[in-house]
Amino acid sequence: MTLTSPGKHPMAEPLACIAVALLMIFVGLPTCNVLGRTLLLAAAPRDAAGMRMAVARVAMIPGVVRCAEHHVWCAAQDAAVVVALRVEVDRSADLPAQNALRSQITSVLESSGLKSWTVDLRPAAAPSSDLAEKKVIKFTFYVFMPMGFMVYFGGPGFYERYVADETYKFNAPPKIRVPTEPAEISKTLEALKEAREQRRLAREQYMKNMDSQSPGVAGAASTE
């Protein structure tokens, strides 16, 4: 489909296509942004920034170890922002102390302009004094365990102990003992020479038998 005649204005059609593309982007991009945030349950950047400030204020409350996770989303455009916050508190805090911390966190979130939230209080994990040692042990395990497997299962000892015997049961190779001592080498050479001489004599005897049988075969053929 052509918008104009290509002979009169050759640049009109490319410019019109560019204008249509820009118009589609201008109209469709805001709609895609709004619908995408609705589908992804995402909040506006302004709300996310306010939530980060509220999380920083919550982390400064005495008795709060840290804010482990926080999620902000908005179910629809111009709807209330929903906040989910997980807070780790001191392990020594009992139930009344946790209720007091929950009240302080609620006050901070209310003062930040948030209207809907969920706060999950959990005791903080015990500090590990041997964290470095655990990391060294894990690193050693991850590095040297595969190397140990390769050395053990790929070595000749494992093959000879567990694989070779099973393989020889199905397809046993011929057992040939190579002599190494001078006396054994001389004895083996003499045996090879004797075997070769016997084969030569057997071949000559076979040829003589064939020569002795050939005249009779020729006479029978001429008689027929």
What is the average per-residue pLDDT within 203-222? 71
**Which of 123, 148, 164 is the C-terminal boundary of a domain?**
123
Percent of the chain whose pLDDT exceeds 70: 66
Average pLDDT, the chain: 75
Strands 64-74 and 81-89, how do they pair?
antiparallel
Position 206 in a domain? no
> Is residue 198 scored above 90 in pLDDT?
yes
The span from the first CA to the last CA of the chain, in angstroms, equals: 99
Per-residue model confidence (pLDDT) at position 131: 60
Nearest to 97 by CA among 56, 139, 61: 61
Q: What is the pTM of this model?
A: 0.35
Contact at 8 Å (CB) between 86 and 66? no
**Which of 98, 123, 148 is the C-terminal boundary of a domain?**
123
C-alpha R_g of the chain: 46
Residues with Cβ within 8 Å of 212's Cβ and at least 6 positions away in sequence, in order, are none
Q: Are residues 62 and 97 in the same domain?
A: yes
State the total domains in the chain: 2
Domain extent for 163:
129-190
Quick: pLDDT tens for 79-122.
Answer: 566 777 777 777 777 778 878 888 888 888 777 766 666 777 77
Position 13 in a domain? no
> Is residue 13 scored above 80 in pLDDT?
yes
Compare 135 and 148 and report the one with higher pLDDT.
Answer: 148
Please tell me the distance from the alpha carbon of residue 72 to that of residue 85, in angstroms, as a whole number.
9
Q: Are residues 119 and 133 in the same domain?
A: no
Position 39 in a domain? no
> Is residue 171 scored above 80 in pLDDT?
no
